[in-house]
Amino acid sequence: MISQLTLGERQLALATSAVVVALGLAMAVLGRGDLMGGQGFIVLLFGIAMLFAVMSGYYAPEPSSERLAQYYDDPIRAGIIVSMIWAIVAMFVGDWVAWLLAYPDMTFDAPWASFGRLRPVHTTGIIFGFGGNALIATSFHVLQRTSRTRLPDQFSPWFILVGYNLFCLLAVSGYLMGITQSKEYAEPEWYADIWLVVVWVSYLALYLRTLARRKEPHIYVANWYFMAFILVVAMLHIVNNLAVPLSLGSAKSYSLFSGVQDAMTQWWYGHNAVAFFLTAGFLGMMYYYLPKRAGRPIFSYRMSIIGFWGITFFYMWAGSHHLHYTALPQWVQTLGMTFSLMLLIPSWIAAANALLTLNGAWHKVRDDATLRFMMVAAVFYGLATFEGSFLAIRPVNSLSHYTDWTVAHVHAGTLGWNSMITFGAIYYLVPQLWKRPQMYSPALVEVHFWLAVAGTFVYVFAMWNSGIIQGLMWRTYNESGTLAYSFIDSVVVMHPYYVARGVGGLLFLIGSIIGFYNIWMTIRTARSSLRASADQPFAAPSSGGAMQAGE
Amino acid sequence: MGVNERDPYTGHATTGHEWNGIKELNTAVPKAVWLFLAGTFLFSLGYWILMPAWPLGTTYSKGLLGDDVRQDVAAHLEAGAANRAAWTTRIDTEDMSTILADDELMRDVRQTGRALFGDNCAVCHGLRATGGPGFPDLVDTAWLWGGTPEAVLETIRVGINSEHPETRTSQMPAFGRDQMLEQPAILDAVAYVRSLSQPEVANGPQAERAKAGQQVFADNCSSCHGEDARGNTELGAPDLTDRFWIYGGDEASVYRTVYGGREGHMPTWEKRLSETDRKILTLYVLDLPKSAP
């Protein structure tokens, strides 16, 4: 991997690693006696590991200029593997906390094993670790293929991928130590947030630089979505995390916002993280891999346009539906609810555009589990967005809010949509990137598919049931006109559903482990040259224009 | 691929763009899509006109219906209270011992008390109010601070060793840790105390110690627990002759109690529950031995 970097880039990588080491050292020294110190050591060790990694290939001969005629796929391969590792770790933790809810004594009296610390490990690990790495990897792939150009340099993609994972590592290790700023999906503290800003701005710069070098006259839909994802996540992340640290040596900070303004800012962030991380980014993935695998043209360019602008415009207003019936002024709740309703149509346009693209290729959906992953993802995308708009209606929300129905909704989206489209994309990518004729075992892809579908159904149905029962129990009155059930009554009733959820999650986790094994074995099997030559910038069919290799 | 190329399967024209093999059809947006877009927009428009919706500088558009969630909540709460008033006014005004005898009114108390108890008391005393190590059983007949309705209501109001200024206060000293008694004296007292409710101790191998403990008890414990060890509800000192134990009646538990002392805590509920609710809880708890099987 280092051998593909030019000498200048290797020096840059060494310098960057040295900066990370210095930062880690500074954190460890300034933060001694504070939780910051422990985080400093993690940064320090990470930087040292990077130094060793770069040094190990530092004296390798420089890459020949022939590489410039190829796409740069090394960071994509690494991103896929890292993404799968995060998936398994975070799904394991997710299933662990699912069982913890059914059997709450399994914490060994250890602070790190409490639900409050493990739950963000699951959410951050899955959204940012699994989802984020998959998005970075696939966006690099889609960007190069649809722009018919190579990434402009070899250092930036590695900086983004490795730097991003340092952020994830700091976040997750911090939770276990007890560091959090108590904002859902934005738990990492100020130093990790600042680091992510640096990484994310580099990501945006790399994306723009590559697009500027494109050999295609038009920018493909997938790139619109990836751009929206990168741009808006930067904005959300910076605004919601504005905070003042106690001191440079303290892991604790205080938010710039307070009271209901803080709640609104947080859910403007939280909902648009769903919109631009879990929706826009993954729609970018879908718009490339689904038509590619199906071998069909996108059903309607015009629907792509209204879908995209509808989603990006309406989503921005919808965050306040997370705060129905709270101290938030009623007019803000009205706007959140109505924009959520209007959002349904653009969301369904995107889902319909994907499913209609499969017209003429349904026999492939039947035979090919990889394409079926993507089809099911589009179906769940449609289901989850319908449910989202439905739950945003205030009277519906008065039943569903704070119940497991929300959890069912989120997991219909994350298991059914995000994970399925990612697995579809990964099963498409792995044989291509490692130049194999196909996956090591297509049968295991089938097994993974059915485990994932079964796990999702068991999970979502269990939580739908428990959520609606919970909501009803909390609002049931007896003949005396007082509440019929105490909260603990509803907890007792949830138990069987929590066990079912644990089982559903376990099925999904086993599927992912099988997927990882299959990917690993595909990588290990003998290299064939079957697909080696077709996937190059100059080999792509040109619509009349320059045929020269990327510079 | 030319601009006018058609997809053989759908018959739709392509846009003429191509990215690494991906083409796009120029299919028109189905009419239903426009219809639904217009429909959701019109619904929203109507909703904005009727309900509070848009910010206008320092105020906001109030909506034609004049709806206000704060007033809605207040009205709901009022209606709910009016609905319950038929029986809650009786709880407020009537004597508690009279209510306990009124089976019809007690049905309301039982229904309401169950959820109140579950949400506020069960965390410590258990869903069935049978307590657990450190937390008194409320179904048994033993009462630390008295079992009359008035005494129980007062305990709920001020709590035990709580931050309420009128809190009930009680502390069992740490006779061992604070070196008020020597080790053999503690063991004697433990044996004696246990022998009061457990004949097998009085007659067993510890009979000697139990006998010796009587003097230790008289010198050190009787001021709170009484000469006869039957306790004192004025001080919250438990009866040691009955078979009920808060912290356990086995030798090790009683030893720990005498050696390290005890200082139980019950929160004050005066600011968290209305007087009506506290009364309902009192009645519910006192009724438990009758209603529980």
Phi, psi of B78 (to 5 degrees): -65, -45
For residue B178, the model assigns a pLDDT of 95
Query: Is residue A542 scored above 60 in pLDDT?
Result: no
Handedness of CA A270, A272, A277, A282 (dihedral sign): positive
Q: What are the tokens at B182? A: 């020597």
Selected residue of B6, B20, B23 to mutate for chain A interface (largest A Cβ count, 10 A)? B20
Overall residue count recorded for chain A in this entry: 551
Task: Report how far residue A515's alpha carbon sits from residue A507's, in angstroms, rounded to the nearest whole number.
Answer: 12
Percentage of chain A exceeding pLDDT 70: 96
Instruction: Evaluate whether residue A201 is within a structural domain.
Output: yes
**A324 labelled as ligand-binding?**
no
Query: Is residue A83 scored above 80 in pLDDT?
Result: yes
Selected residue of B18, B19, B102 to mutate for chain A interface (largest A Cβ count, 10 A)? B19
For residue A537, the model assigns a pLDDT of 79
Query: Is residue B1 scored above 60 in pLDDT?
Result: no
Task: Report how far residue B36's alpha carbon sits from residue B265's, in angstroms, rounded to the nearest whole number.
Answer: 61
In angstroms and rounded to an integer, the radius of gyration of the C-alpha atoms of chain B is 35
Handedness of CA A330, A336, A339, A344 (dihedral sign): negative
ipTM value for the complex: 0.89
Beta carbons within 8 Å of B25's beta carbon, 6+ residues apart = A297, A298, A299, A300, A301, B7, B10, B12, B13, B14, B15
B-chain residues near A335 (CB < 8 A): 53-54
Phi, psi of B243 (to 5 degrees): -95, 10
Query: Is residue B169 scored above 60 in pLDDT?
Result: yes
Burial B186-210 (b: 16+ CB within 10 A, else e): bbbbbbbbbbbbeeebbeeebeebb
Taking only the tens place, the pLDDT of each residue in B23-40 is: 999 999 999 999 999 999
Q: Report residue A526's pLDDT band, with 50, 70 and 90 as the boundaries.
A: low
Q: What are the tokens at A166? A: 């340092």
Query: Is residue A445 scored above 80 in pLDDT?
Result: yes
Handedness of CA B279, B282, B287, B291 (dihedral sign): positive
Instruction: Evaluate whether residue A533 is within a structural domain.
Output: no
Answer whether B248 touches A (CB < 8 Å). Answer: no
Number of A:B CB contacts under 8 A?
A: 157
For residue B3, the model assigns a pLDDT of 54
CB A316 within 8 A of CB A343: no
Q: What is the mean pLDDT of residues A101-105?
A: 94
CB contact under 8 Å between B69 and A325, yes or no, is yes
Selected residue of A338, A493, A531 to mutate for chain B interface (largest B Cβ count, 10 A)? A338
Q: What are the tokens at A10? A: 């290797």
Neighbour-count burial of B227, counting CB atoms closer than 10 A to its CB (0-12 exposed, 13-18 middle, 19+ buried): exposed
Instruction: Evaluate whether residue A39 is within a structural domain.
Output: yes
| SS3 category, A532 | coil
Pick from B24, B36, B127: CB nearest A301: B24
For residue A533, the model assigns a pLDDT of 55
Pick from B7, B19, B43: CB nearest A216: B19
Let me know whether A254 and A296 are in one domain: yes
Task: Report how far residue A187's alpha carbon sits from residue A184's, in angstroms, rounded to the nearest whole number.
Answer: 6
CB A349 within 8 A of CB A310: yes
The full set of domains in chain B, from first to last, is 14-60 (no CATH), 70-167+266-291 (1.10.760.10), 183-260 (1.10.760.10)
Instruction: Evaluate whether residue A549 is within a structural domain.
Output: no
Instruction: Evaluate whether residue A66 is within a structural domain.
Output: no
Nearest Cα residue in chain B from A336: B53
Taking only the tens place, the pLDDT of each residue in A375-412 is: 999 999 999 999 999 999 999 999 999 999 999 999 99
Three-state SS letters, chain B: CCCCCECCCCCCEEEEEEECCEEEEECCCCHHHHHHHHHHHHHHHHHHHHCCCCEECCEECCCCCCCCHHHHHHHHHHHHHHHHHHHHHHHHHCCHHHHHHCHHHHHHHHHHHHHHHHHHCHHHHCCCCCCECCECCCCCCCCCCCCCHHHHHHHHHHCECCCCCCCECCCECCCCCCCCCCHHHHHHHHHHHHHHHCHHHHHCCCHHHHHHHHHHHHHHCHHHHCCCCCCECCCCECCCCCCCCCCCCCHHHHHHHHHHCECCCECCCCCCCCHHHHHHHHHHHHHHHHHCC
Task: Report how many domains make up chain A.
Answer: 2
Taking only the tens place, the pLDDT of each residue in B172-188 is: 999 999 999 999 999 99
Q: Which A residues 361-390 touch B at CB under 8 Å?
A: none
Question: How confident is the prediction for chain A on average, in pLDDT?
Answer: 94
For residue A530, the model assigns a pLDDT of 52
Selected residue of A305, A486, A487 to mutate for chain B interface (largest B Cβ count, 10 A)? A486
CB A104 within 8 A of CB A116: no
Specify which residues A244 forms β-bridges with: A254
Taking only the tens place, the pLDDT of each residue in A177-197 is: 999 999 999 999 999 999 999
Pick from B10, B36, B40: CB nearest A359: B10
Q: What is the mean pLDDT of residues B107-127?
A: 95
The CB density around residue A114, as the number of other CB atoms within 10 Å, is: 17
Closest CA relative to residue A462, chosen from A419, A506, A513: A506
For residue A143, the model assigns a pLDDT of 97
Let me know whether A15 and A111 are in one domain: no
Degrees, nearest 5: CA angle A416-A420-A426: 165
Beta carbons within 8 Å of B277's beta carbon, 6+ residues apart = B116
Q: Report residue A538's pLDDT band, with 50, 70 and 90 as the boundaries.
A: low
Instruction: Evaluate whether residue A81 is within a structural domain.
Output: yes
Let me know whether A56 and A171 are in one domain: no
Q: What is the mean pLDDT of residues B213-229?
A: 95
Answer whether B265 touches A (CB < 8 Å). Answer: no
Task: Report how far residue B244's alpha carbon sits from residue B266's, in angstroms, rounded to the nearest whole number.
Answer: 19
Q: Report residue A534's pLDDT band, with 50, 70 and 90 as the boundaries.
A: low
| SS3 category, A165 | helix
CB A57 within 8 A of CB A100: no
Let me know whether A329 and A378 are in one domain: yes
For residue B203, the model assigns a pLDDT of 87
CATH, residue A256: 1.20.210.10
CB B9 within 8 A of CB B16: no
Query: Is residue A461 scored above 80 in pLDDT?
Result: yes
Range(s) of the domain holding residue A143: 72-524
For residue A546, the model assigns a pLDDT of 39
Answer whether A520 touches B (CB < 8 Å). Answer: no
CB contact under 8 Å between B20 and A325, yes or no, is no
Taking only the tens place, the pLDDT of each residue in A214-252 is: 999 999 999 999 999 999 999 999 999 999 999 999 999
Beta carbons within 8 Å of A227's beta carbon, 6+ residues apart = A207, A211
Nearest Cα residue in chain A from B69: A330
Let me know whether A88 and A52 are in one domain: no
**A409 labelled as ligand-binding?**
yes
Taking only the tens place, the pLDDT of each residue in B84-113 is: 999 999 999 999 999 999 999 999 999 999
CB contact under 8 Å between B118 and A487, yes or no, is yes
Answer whether A479 touches B (CB < 8 Å). Answer: yes
Pick from A297, A338, A481: CB nearest B14: A297
Let me know whether A30 and A152 are in one domain: no
Q: What is the mean pLDDT of residues A265-276?
A: 96
Task: Report how far residue A163's alpha carbon sits from residue A468's, in angstroms, rounded to the nearest whole number.
Answer: 42
Selected residue of B22, B89, B119, B125 to mutate for chain A interface (largest A Cβ count, 10 A)? B22
For residue B135, the model assigns a pLDDT of 95
Nearest Cα residue in chain B from A223: B19
Pick from B17, B54, B108: CB nearest A218: B17
Task: Report how far residue A316's alpha carbon sits from residue A339's, in angstroms, rounded to the nearest whole number.
Answer: 9
Q: What is the mean pLDDT of residues A320-340?
A: 96
Pick from A331, A480, A487: CB nearest B119: A487
Least confident segment among A468-482, B6-20, B84-98: B6-20
Domain boundary among A60, A83, A104: A60
A-chain residues near B15 (CB < 8 A): 301
Residue given tokens 């050292």 in the structure block: A25
Q: What is the mean pLDDT of residues A333-339?
A: 97
For residue A543, the model assigns a pLDDT of 43
Let me know whether A55 and A76 are in one domain: no
For residue A527, the model assigns a pLDDT of 67
Instruction: Evaluate whether residue A125 is within a structural domain.
Output: yes
| SS3 category, A483 | strand
Task: Report how far residue B163's alpha carbon sits from residue B266's, in angstroms, rounded to the nearest whole number.
Answer: 10
Query: Is residue B257 scored above 80 in pLDDT?
Result: yes
Task: Report how far residue B28's alpha carbon sits from residue A301's, in angstroms, rounded to the nearest whole number.
Answer: 8
Q: Which B residues 59-118 touch A at CB under 8 Å?
A: 60-61, 67-69, 80, 83-84, 87, 107-108, 111-112, 114-118
Let me know whether A243 and A295 are in one domain: yes
Q: What is the mean pLDDT of residues A121-150?
A: 97
Let me know whether A163 and A22 are in one domain: no
Question: How confident is the prediction for chain B on average, in pLDDT?
Answer: 94
Percentage of chain B exceeding pLDDT 90: 90
Let me know whether A106 and A17 are in one domain: no
**A218 labelled as ligand-binding?**
no
Let me know whether A335 and A195 are in one domain: yes
Q: Give the residue with greater pLDDT, B155 vs A525.
A: B155
**A363 labelled as ligand-binding?**
no
Instruction: Evaluate whether residue A530 is within a structural domain.
Output: no
Q: Which A residues 387-446 touch B at CB under 8 Å?
A: none
Pick from A148, A331, A359: CB nearest B9: A359
Neighbour-count burial of A187, counting CB atoms closer than 10 A to its CB (0-12 exposed, 13-18 middle, 19+ buried): buried
Annotate A232-256 with DSSP letters as a single string: HHHHHHHHHT-EEES-TT-S-EEES
| pTM exceeds cut of 0.90 | yes
CB A305 within 8 A of CB B28: no
Query: Is residue B192 scored above 80 in pLDDT?
Result: yes
CB contact under 8 Å between B114 and A486, yes or no, is yes
Q: Find how far residue B114's CA is from the centre of its chain.
A: 11
CB A435 within 8 A of CB A475: no
Let me know whether A91 and A53 are in one domain: no
CB contact under 8 Å between B69 and A330, yes or no, is yes
For residue A545, the model assigns a pLDDT of 39
Phi, psi of A35 (to 5 degrees): -60, -25
Domain boundary among A60, A81, A110: A60
CB contact under 8 Å between A148 and B23, yes or no, is no
Task: Report how far residue B103's alpha carbon sits from residue B114's, in angstroms, rounded to the nearest whole number.
Answer: 16
Query: Is residue A547 scored above 70 in pLDDT?
Result: no
